Amino acid sequence: MSRISDTFQNAEGKKQFIAYVCALDPDYSTSLEVCRTLVTSGVDILELGVPFSDPLADGKTNQLAAERALASGGTPDQVTELVKEIRKFSEVPIVLYTYYNLVYNKGVDSYVKLAKDSGVDGILVLDLPPEESDEMNGACKKYGVDQIFLIAPTTPDSRIPIITKNASGFIYYVSQEGVTGERKNVASNIESRVTTIRESTTLPIGVGFGISNADHVRQVAQHSDAVIVGSSIVRIIEQNADNKEALLTALSNKIEAMLKGLQPES
């Protein structure tokens, strides 16, 4: 049983809040404090983007985060060290959000083992299709790391069982077409798509992309097991990158406001 599975099984009906940030943004020490603040503010699962020079699934906000992390000297090995430091103060489940070039460069087996040894619980490889993921599947099963897959609004129904077959931890449903980024409104077809996905898996389903306020969280949580928020959190880092105290305060306030979307309406 992984930390991710435990978190969902022990939720007792509570919907989970998953926060995404790019690791090492804007630098190592600040990123560590960002992660500490997210955890202490009530985030259930922490999703860490591994800085990459060509983040094709990301919108401008997250692209700029990766640029800041790389400009500060950030490397995949530093992400591993960051996870080890987080493990000194928290057992929150941690998912790496990465691209296959980085996995391939290290070697699939070595990448997954290093992630596991550092304290990572799950890996989401954005650009790895399930038909080409046998080596990754084997390594994740070997080391007990959850392999998380994406399902998009445009994914044909017939393809969903292919994606869910080797998935573990949870399914990440991308609620909006296109790249990551804040949106004014949540997608209108989340309920029907999640219902279709549930026909092919018993795994929890997290919904992300475009969720930026408590009202969005409330709407999405009605139909999912977890709400995934990224760009609106990363934007706070962008806006306060030169003032750590202001950054951490703003982050804490943002998470507090977003979590209200998971509370019963009075």
Residue pair 97/48 in contact by the 8 Å Cβ criterion: yes
Burial 45-57, CB ≥16 within 10 A → b, else e:
bbbbbbbbeebeb
Strands 45-49 and 94-98: parallel
Q: How far apart are CA 20 and CA 162, in angstroms?
A: 26
Q: How far apart are CA 78 and CA 219, in angstroms?
A: 36
DSSP string, 197-211: HHTT--S-EEEESS-
Q: φ and ψ at 207, to 5 degrees?
A: -120, 130
Residues marked active site are found at: 47, 58
Task: Give the chain's end-to-end CA distance (angstroms, integer).
Answer: 36
